[in-house]
Structure 1
Amino acid sequence: MMSDINGRVSIRFLDVGDTEDMLNLMLRNRELFEGVSPARNESYYTREVQAKSIENGVRQKEEDKRYAFGIFLNATGQLIGDISLFEVQRGPHQKCILGYSMDQAHNGKGYMSEAIQLVMKFAFEEVGLLRVEAGVMPRNVGSMRVLEKAGFQREGLARKLLEINGVREDHVVFAMLAEDYLGK
């Protein structure tokens, strides 16, 4: 479990014991998450698919391809979100993409900013990445604010980057470099 001394949240790698909590998080926030995520079929919202997703995350961590964490409230231990570093590229790239989601009941409280700081520490200090990228639809102002607050730099617009609900959506591209993080 990774946490700051004065932090309100911790992150830790998800394991199959988190399946039920992850399923409940996805079900509670289905409408919100579907508005900003690629299409998911109905089976996504089952215990079996959530368990398989977590198992895949464990395997991908061992393969240095993806690092999937749960975000937990320190006060209660409740799973309130997830955050991951995916599409890890080594060799000359040494980069990945940051993805995250937060239970809508906990939005706007600064928890995601804390979680991003913890995952950046992991990315740059523990697994030696040099660049972390994130993409956000321009209408998702709150998510852009979270990235800027965390120290990400806006780099530009990726036109029609990802299909969301059958529509190719533009995404504002953000990045943080190891030198940005370590220079803080």
Structure 2
Amino acid sequence: MRQPLISAERFTLRLLQPTEADIALNYYLSNSVHLNPWEPSRPHGFFSGSYWQNLLQMRLQQFNLGEAVHLGAIDNHSQMMIASCNFTQIDSTLPHGCFLGYSIDQYYQGSGLMTQIVTSALDYIYSERHIHTVTAAYMPSNLRSGQLLARLGFQSLGLERDYLEINGKLEDHQITTKSNPNQFQLR
């Protein structure tokens, strides 16, 4: 399967290789406080190079098996990771769906980059993987995430109580979906 390489003016979206563990590790180290309220508790060793080498190797295998696509957004100038955009639980049976997850470096919030990154990633997942429906969940208190998904055309399916464990506590999540706008729809 051909690996994605999505270039834009300010960033490149691509799979990180196991030899680039330091890029991912630096992103999560420098954003640990920023991301903490929105993400699950971190497993032992999460903030180590060996953990990221192994994780990136596993993500590469998941990509090759068609199960997931974990993209890092790399700043074209600094070559630092500035965001992540992931599609997981890819289901190749009908109706061809997956789950979207994303995060952005604290210093790039509000710059419009996350909209560009997720739009580029959605274009890839729809056209290259022929996904019909992408599902995304966000905590209602994460206003930026809700606004991003609404701006991108995700439709709300409702609130799911105690949906995910975030930072050691079960949290409610708003569930949203977006269908591939380029696919033929049966009526």
Common fold, TM-score beyond 0.5? yes
SS at match of 1:45: coil
Q: Distance in 2 between matches of 1:100 and 1:43?
A: 21
Comparing 51-60 and 148-157, the one that deviates more: 148-157
Work out the CA distance in 1 between the residues paired with 2:97 and 2:6: 21
1:106 offset after TM fit, Å? Answer: 0.9
Unaligned 5+ segments in structure 1 are: none
> Does the 8 Å contact 1:2/1:11 carry over to 2?
yes
Structure 2's unaligned 5+ residue stretches are none
Pair 1:115 & 2:99 matched? no
How many pairs were matched up? 180
TM-score by length of 1: 0.92
Give the RMSD, CA atoms, in angstroms: 1.6
Counterpart of 1:153 in structure 2: which amino acid? Q
Which residue number in structure 2 is paired with residue 95 of structure 1? 97
Aligned partner letter, 1:107: Q
* Per-residue deviation, 1:18: 2.2
Cα distance change, pair 3–154 in 1 and its aligned pair in 2 (3 A): farther
CA distance in 1, matches of 2:169, 2:81: 31
Structure 1 outlier segments of 4+, above 6 Å: none
Aligned partner (choices 109, 124, 130) of residue 132 of structure 2: 130
- TM-score, length basis structure 2: 0.90
Structure (1 or 2) with the greater helix fraction? 1
User: Which residue, out of 1, 6, 28, partners 1:2?
Assistant: 6
Q: Deviations over 1:68-111 (max 9, x none)?
A: 11112233332111111001112123100001111101111011
- 1:182 shift after superposition: 6.2
Percent same amino acid at aligned positions? 26
- When residues 78 and 166 of structure 1 are mapped into structure 2, their CA distance, relative to the original with a 3 A threshold, is closer
Q: Which residue identity does 2:35 align to in structure 1?
A: F
Secondary structure in structure 1 of the residue aligned to 2:134: strand
